[in-house]
Amino acid sequence: MKIWCQHGSEHSANLVMIGHFMEVTDATKTKEIIDKLTERVRKDGSVSRSPSHGYSNSMLDLLTELHVASIAPQELEQFLYDVCVEVEGSNVVVTTEEIDVSAFLKVMVARGARVEVYSAHHYPNSQYVGGVERGDQCRR
């Protein structure tokens, strides 16, 4: 009898993304930007899965205001995922069971972060396990 022990797309990624910033204020501002984008995506009520569809006027205005120009329209749905975003000192920690996190990565890099990404499945002794920080029940 063989026992299957791989993680496929039908299983959670248990992904951890840590943006390391130079200053605490940079981390805090990045979290605020992620929160504003999430709020706007929720208010808009739908997101485009087609690059030809484009952005809503309100989203385009917000992206311009926040100086985040690299997020594609089809990536906006990532802000609706079940994701935990926390600021810990000068770090922004994103934990999720999703694998598509390019929008979060783009926001962090645009704000000057050095970004670390890994699956907590493969690093079970990490501080961040189970999609959220140990003992924390952060959920959006």
Residue by residue, pLDDT tens for the chain (140 residues) are: 555 555 555 557 889 999 999 999 999 999 999 999 999 999 987 665 555 578 889 999 999 999 998 999 999 999 999 999 999 999 999 999 999 999 999 999 999 999 999 988 887 777 765 444 444 556 43
pLDDT reported for residue 54 = 83
- Residue pair 66/125 in contact (Cβ under 8 Å)? The answer is no
- 1 found inside a domain: no
Q: Is residue 120 part of a domain?
A: yes
Paired with 93 in beta bridges are 18, 86
Residue 47 lies in a domain: yes
**pLDDT value of position 12:** 78
DSSP symbol at 126: S
Assess if residue 42 is contained within a domain. Answer: yes
Identify whether 119 is part of a domain. Answer: yes
**In which domain, by residue range, is 116 found?**
15-133
Please check whether residue 52 is in contact with residue 138, taking contact to mean a CB–CB distance below 8 angstroms. no
Predicted confidence at residue 45, as pLDDT, reads 75
Number of structural domains the chain divides into:
1
Strand extents, DSSP E, the chain? 15-20, 83-88, 91-96, 114-119, 128-129, 132-133
CA gap 139, 96 in Å, rounded: 9
Q: Say whether 61 sits in a helix, a strand or coil.
A: helix
Residue 41 lies in a domain: yes
d(CA 33, CA 105): 12
Record the pTM: 0.81
CA pair distance 36, 50, nearest whole angstrom: 22
- Assess if residue 7 is contained within a domain: no
**How high is the pLDDT of residue 126?**
72
With respect to residue 71, please indicate whether it lies within any of the assigned structural domains.
yes
